[in-house]
Amino acid sequence: RIGHAFSVHYKLQKYLLQCETSDEIITNEAITTLQWDNTQEINQRPRNNSFQDTKQLEQLLQHKYIFGVTSVSAGSSPILHNMRFDYCLVDEAGQVYIFYVKCNKMDKQLTEPQVLGPIRKAQRFILVGDSNQLPPLVKNKIALKNGMNISLFQRLSTANSHCVASLSIQYRMNEDILSLANQLIYKNQMKCATLDVASQSLSISSLDIAQHLDKCQYSQQIREWLRYALDPSKKVVFLNTDKLYPVEDIMPNNEAKTNANEKEAEIVKLCVNGLLECNVKSCQIGVMSPFVAQLKMIEAKLQQIRAPVSPSQQRRFENSIYSQILHNSQGISTNVDQNMLLDTIDRFQGRDCDVIILSLKHTPLDRKVASILHDWRRVNVALTRAKKKLIVIGSEACFLNIALESDKDDGNRKNLIMKHLMLFLAQKYPHNIAQVCF
């Protein structure tokens, strides 16, 4: 594995070059000074002084046959500078830029090859990805206008269809969850690999659910919809929040002014608490929202029940060896793999969990649906992260009645994707829709 120890998962640390050639990965001084925040990276890095010259390094690398590296490091790492490979395999290629875009204060673009860096080192390259999921994120308007958000994967698959192999067998989600993406995006072309994959569900007994509801002494209204959320036989559940907002409040000028919804955050807390009490492990649960503000509110609610959460801004650090050393030096026993993942839809691409709780934030008070939820590729990512159970929380009325002015309902389900999702849920899973009341 080529890269800095800071960004490499602690389970892969033993494959780092500096770890293979040095017994001491980090000094005691680094342990005592180790700190983490969102703006400052750890200065202490593993250091290696084992090589006398470059020939010794080359001799070691000659006996290595598989190199793991990011697309940026593949083009910039001096270790790989003169190396050539038989194959270059690029995963999540639909998200990789053809060019890495940099913008200075004058808004002038400087470009340098990103995905071209690694593939030029190989005789053959294989790009693996899904053009129906999120493309590269480009915020600069000029770069976006000039097509910088189009990946090499998309360009080549469009221009060279004879070189494309379509993979229609998936090993992640059960049949009920797959039906959403199949109906809305994939035209029923995707299939579950085995019967076990198609039928997988959470191991929760009816007795566990009943005992939890009795223990918490919830109102009858909460018990009804929470039972839906916890029922393992209901593998796709939509919790409709419309009844939480009185009809008199749904006026033209009462639109929500924030990207956070406290009522939905409370629903997420009750669902997570119920799953944990019914013996679902925290590492099996993922909580997702399109909005960072909503995630922060959810995180605050989950802290009330002391749920072990790894917010997105901490997960990279917690998975590194530095976090392990720090906790060990302080006598703290922790396993970050047991933490629940809390993240945005975009950052969830490439990940999955047994249970996904998706908080959409919108209410029937909203007169517009955020443009972020009109991107059918982002919605596709959100619907395909769960393996065994998907819980969607949102306002049915909002998504059925409101659309961006630029959208046209021309029968293509990719247009007005959230509206067609609501319609399909009502048609396919009418008994899996619960009206949320407190």
**Total domain count for the chain?**
2
Q: Is residue 3 part of a domain?
A: no
Q: Name the pLDDT band for 327 (thresholds 50, 70, 90).
A: very low
Q: Which domain holds residue 357?
A: 170-306+321-432
Q: Kindly report, residue by residue over 75-98, the tens digit of the pLDDT.
A: 778 888 888 999 999 998 887 765
Strands (E), 234-385: 236-240, 285-289, 309-311, 340-344, 353-359
User: How many Cβ atoms are within 10 Å of 269's Cβ, its own excluded?
Assistant: 19
High-pLDDT (> 90) share of the chain, %: 50
Tell whether 181 and 95 lie within a shared domain.
Answer: no
The residues, ordered by sequence, that sit 6+ positions from 23 with a Cβ below 8 Å of its Cβ are none
Mean pLDDT of 342-352: 92
Tell whether 392 and 368 lie within a shared domain.
Answer: yes
Tell whether 295 and 399 lie within a shared domain.
Answer: yes
Q: Kindly report, residue by residue over 274-323, the tens digit of the pLDDT.
A: 999 999 999 999 999 999 999 999 999 999 999 988 765 444 444 555 55
The C-alpha angle with vertex 6 and arms to 111 and 139, in degrees rounded to 5, equals 30
pLDDT at residue number 71: 81
- Higher local confidence (pLDDT), 130 or 26: 130
Q: Is residue 43 part of a domain?
A: no
From 165, 193, 223, give the residue that closes a domain.
165
From 115, 137, 165, give the residue that closes a domain.
165
Q: Name the pLDDT band for 336 (thresholds 50, 70, 90).
A: low
Q: Is residue 293 part of a domain?
A: yes
Tell whether 250 and 152 lie within a shared domain.
Answer: no
Helices 262-277 and 206-216 pack at an angle, to 10 degrees, of 120
Highest-scoring range by mean pLDDT, 22-26, 54-58, 197-201, 365-369: 197-201
